[in-house]
Structure 1
Amino acid sequence: MMNLHQLEYLQAVISCGGIRPASYNLHVSPQAVSIAIKKLEEELGTQLFIRSGNELIPTQHGVEVSQRAAIILSQCRELGQLKSELHEGISPDGHFRLYVPQLFGRGSLFEDEAYERFLEAYPDIHLDVWHQTGSSLHAVVEHGITDAALVFGRTQVNGIVFHDVRSVTMYAYWIDERVTHNSVSLNSNFISKHLFANPYCFSEVMTVFRNLPTSDLLAMRFRDISPDIDSHLAFMREGGVIFGLSNSIYKNMPEVSSGMVYLDSQKKAQLPVYFCCKQGNWGKWLQKVYWHSIENLQVLD
């Protein structure tokens, strides 16, 4: 059944000029955008784009659907703004929903006690931290599916504002009993010997790596792996290295080794964290959750 995500992806592909730039702005994989567009075409029974190599040209039907989609999405934004005003920035059931892409469930981005401290300080509000594979940052924030989001990179997204939180250190994960070091330096020797993967925030990670020598960047080989843990373990058992956060889901798996990632002998690779919300919606509860995020973000350096 047609949904808002599909319409959002359609708008992004047309405005950005292609699937890959659209996926970058939406914080989802190119595959997710491509699948959504194909499914929308199947449901409508018409071709929305003419595909020529890597170029997508909207058909007449594609233009017409996009124009209708713009009206629908605009109306959803207006309804979301009205709902926010009626409930002071939180949902009617007393839950504040914080969307964090690239996490499994609520993850462990925050210290374990952070949720309890928030409940003690604000007993009338329940803080929900969630993630859903394939969800668009723009869609979940702009259309009121979530109240705010924490993301590991800043892009130009209409209608969304970004507030600095802090940076978190990137870690590498692998399975190899012969490797006992607790850090990884991305030098030419290490890069040439390994295959890499980053299943959650590829574009943000590559932005962090942009200061590496061009020859090293070109030599890095990435594999697209599924987000499930079994796929991760299989990849690492084959000798692959996965990039992630210091509080990753692998921390309770003794066979998985980890180490901080260094861009050179001294400079750590760090992902900037931003708190983002709908433009013009900087109410008291958003500010409270923002400051709580800054105070309780877990950094295991």
Structure 2
Amino acid sequence: MDIRQLRYFQEIVAQGSLTRAAESLHVAQPALSLHLKNMEEQLGTRLLTRSRSGVTPTEAGDLLLQRARTILEDLARTEDDIRNLEADPSGVVRIGLPGTISATVSLPLILAARERFPRITLNIREAMSGFVGDWLSEGKVDLAVLYSRSKDKRILSELLLEEELVVLWPGEAGCLPVMSLGDLEKVPMVLPSGAHGLRVLIDSEFQALGFAPEIAMEIDSFNNIKRLVAAGFGPSILPLYAVTEEVAAGTLCVSRIAAPGLWRGAHLMSPGGRPVTRAVEAVHTVLRDVILDLRDSGAWAASRPPQ
């Protein structure tokens, strides 16, 4: 096998389809199929299972994919280090962020990275926390900021801040400045679905009080949650920084949760146990600095250092 075959195989698995991989790689599909056939013959085993929905790696394919990622990342780091021994780091750095964090972090991160490392290109991908965590474990992103530590023991994690969660109500109805979570028992609420990290936290807090949340509606978009609360479908629980504009405009009212309150952490995560490029190391530092500055300046509203 050679490096090109490893790159081709990695892209086939990422795309889940020979056709899509051929388009992404700008390679004729018959040529890509031949490369795959040659690899399977060299290794003496099938690497992919084919179905109508596409291709998935076999057990041997999964092993090859893991090793291929390590080899290709090590090669990229080596090439980058040699090219940039006397220059600023360069290359593409992929960052995974949940949508709410991205709304706060992306612009100041892009501006800071451009100023400090103009030869680095950022590729920022947004999704729910669970998807972002999977991307990091699978090597599809280089860095991530998530609300909980990864279950993958290979992932390094640093808790940078804690953000306050509050109860939302329609603005015209008014609300108590402070309330307990127990006051929400049997109150129909607008909440994210069970797959959402915030919902997992809410369910856990309610369970500790001896009840489950009453559901009026489940929806994973924070913007839609805010609209539904404002329209009177029921209260919700979101980070305070995510609703500051609506509170200022009077469309939403917030109740803080009685001491000790309800907080969740933001963790900066990076892969451990495998080499990373100088560009990734540089962006890791910039991303950390940006988040700490947002916390300490108050731009990340209602956040605090880890307690």
Q: Normalising by structure 1, what TM-score?
A: 0.62
Aligned-partner SS, 1:239:
coil
Aligned-partner SS, 2:95:
strand
Question: What residue in structure 1 maps to residue 53 of structure 2?
Answer: 43
Cα separation, partners in 2 of 1:232 and 1:65, compared to 1, 3 Å: farther
Q: Which runs of 5+ in 1 are unaligned?
A: 8-39, 46-61
CA-CA distance at 1:152 after TM superposition: 0.3
Question: Is 1:172 matched up with 2:161?
Answer: no
Q: Which runs of 5+ in 2 are unaligned?
A: 1-10, 18-49, 303-307
Question: Is 1:78 matched up with 2:79?
Answer: no
CA-CA distance at 1:117 after TM superposition: 4.3
Question: What residue in structure 2 maps to residue 108 of structure 1?
Answer: 104
Question: What residue in structure 2 maps to residue 289 of structure 1?
Answer: 287
Question: What residue in structure 1 maps to residue 14 of structure 2?
Answer: 4
CA-CA distance at 1:162 after TM superposition: 1.0
| Identity among equivalent pairs (%) | 9
Give distance in 1, aligned partners of 2:138 and 2:207. Answer: 41
Aligned-partner SS, 1:72:
helix
Cα separation, partners in 2 of 1:158 and 1:82, compared to 1, 3 Å: farther
TM-superposition CA deviations, 1:189-224 (whole Å, max 9, x none): 323223230259734553466455645443543743
TM-superposition CA deviations, 1:159-196 (whole Å, max 9, x none): 32111211111233333521244455312x32322323
Question: What residue in structure 2 maps to residue 233 of structure 1?
Answer: 227
Question: What residue in structure 2 maps to residue 266 of structure 1?
Answer: 259
Aligned-partner SS, 2:218:
coil
Question: What residue in structure 2 maps to residue 68 of structure 1?
Answer: 61
Are the counterparts in 2 of residues 225 and 232 from structure 1 also a CA contact under 8 Å?
no
Could you say which structure has the larger radius of gyration? 2
Give distance in 2, aligned partners of 1:134 and 1:266. Answer: 27
Partner residue of 1:257 out of 252, 257, 261? 252
Which amino acid is 2:53 matched to?
Answer: E
Give distance in 2, aligned partners of 1:295 and 1:193. Answer: 38
Are the counterparts in 2 of residues 170 and 243 from structure 1 also a CA contact under 8 Å?
yes
Are the counterparts in 2 of residues 261 and 268 from structure 1 also a CA contact under 8 Å?
yes
Q: CA RMSD in A?
A: 4.1
CA-CA distance at 1:44 after TM superposition: 5.2
Give distance in 2, aligned partners of 1:216 and 1:198. Answer: 20
Aligned length: 245
CA-CA distance at 1:139 after TM superposition: 4.1
Question: What residue in structure 1 maps to residue 151 of structure 2?
Answer: 156
Question: What residue in structure 2 maps to residue 195 of structure 1?
Answer: 189
Give distance in 2, aligned partners of 1:5 and 1:217. Answer: 43
Question: Is 1:248 matched up with 2:245?
Answer: no
Cα separation, partners in 2 of 1:71 and 1:143, compared to 1, 3 Å: same
Which amino acid is 1:270 matched to?
Answer: W
Are the counterparts in 1 of residues 230 and 252 from structure 2 also a CA contact under 8 Å?
no
CA-CA distance at 1:260 after TM superposition: 5.3
Question: What residue in structure 2 maps to residue 16 of structure 1?
Answer: none
Aligned-partner SS, 1:97:
strand
CA-CA distance at 1:250 after TM superposition: 7.3
Question: What residue in structure 2 maps to residue 87 of structure 1?
Answer: 80
CA-CA distance at 1:153 after TM superposition: 0.6
Question: What residue in structure 1 maps to residue 271 of structure 2?
Answer: 278
Cα separation, partners in 2 of 1:211 and 1:44, compared to 1, 3 Å: closer
Are the counterparts in 2 of residues 198 and 242 from structure 1 also a CA contact under 8 Å?
no
Which amino acid is 1:101 matched to?
Answer: P
Question: What residue in structure 2 maps to residue 30 of structure 1?
Answer: none
Partner residue of 2:215 out of 211, 217, 221? 221
Are the counterparts in 1 of residues 190 and 225 from structure 2 also a CA contact under 8 Å?
no
Give distance in 1, aligned partners of 2:93 and 2:300. Answer: 23
Give distance in 2, aligned partners of 1:135 and 1:114. Answer: 22
Q: Following superposition, which runs of at least 4 residues in structure 1 exceed 6 angstroms of deviation?
A: none
Cα separation, partners in 2 of 1:221 and 1:148, compared to 1, 3 Å: same
Are the counterparts in 2 of residues 171 and 246 from structure 1 also a CA contact under 8 Å?
yes
Which amino acid is 1:287 matched to?
Answer: T
CA-CA distance at 1:279 after TM superposition: 0.6
